[in-house]
Amino acid sequence: MRLSRNGSSINLSLTANDMNHAQAQSMDISRALKADNTSLLYEPFEECELSKLFRKLAFNEYTHENCEIWENSFCNEVPVIYALKTRYYIRPMVLDYLEIHRDGCVKPSCGNKTCINPYHNSYKKMKGSKLGDADINLAVAFASQGVPIKEIAKVLKVNRSTIYRTLNREHLHSGSACN
């Protein structure tokens, strides 16, 4: 497959079950790389790291148990790849490929900075946030039921001040009262 963006192009090998699968993959990859033009070519290309990543995503070769260690480029200790004269951060690119809406940043929930396993992604509203969306919803639910802040912080393994800030922020956004 050949992708182009802003006058730059790249050839990626593509492994697919059939023609429909190949077309769907090319659309997903094009979206992830924000390509201007995509064409399927019927000639063999060497499988590069980017091709391997997209093949693993297409055939769901990831498990919940194991980290997938990125052994290539990093920028500020974050896995990246360079293609089409652009730097792509792997985790957000994977979300774009999988068509998962993100409203913030994505970090590895396993704690391994080199892990790119999509099952280990944790979605945070803000870069420095200690709580993900599920944790925030849980904190709001606990608070609305009258659970003390100290107990909420203990359950979510964060400081009380984090819970206070989170509940105040959620109160401002939703207009609902938090205790």
Domain spanning 133-174, CATH class? mainly alpha
pLDDT for the residue numbered 178: 37
Taking residues 111-123, what's their average pLDDT?
Answer: 89
CA distances from 80 to 27, 37, 44 (A): 21, 22, 25
**Alpha-helical regions (H) of the chain:** 19-33, 49-58, 90-97, 133-144, 149-156, 160-174
The whole-number average pLDDT for the span 152-174 is 82
- A 10 A CB-CB count for 144 gives 13
How many C-beta neighbours within 10 Å does residue 166 have? 24
Q: Report pLDDT digits (tens) over 45-77.
A: 899 999 999 999 999 999 999 999 999 999 999
Domain range annotation of the chain: 2-124, 133-174
Query: Going along 59-102, which residue ranges are E strands?
Result: 74-75, 78-83, 86-89
> pTM of the full predicted structure?
0.71
Per-residue pLDDT reduced to its tens digit, 72-96 = 999 999 999 999 999 999 999 998 9
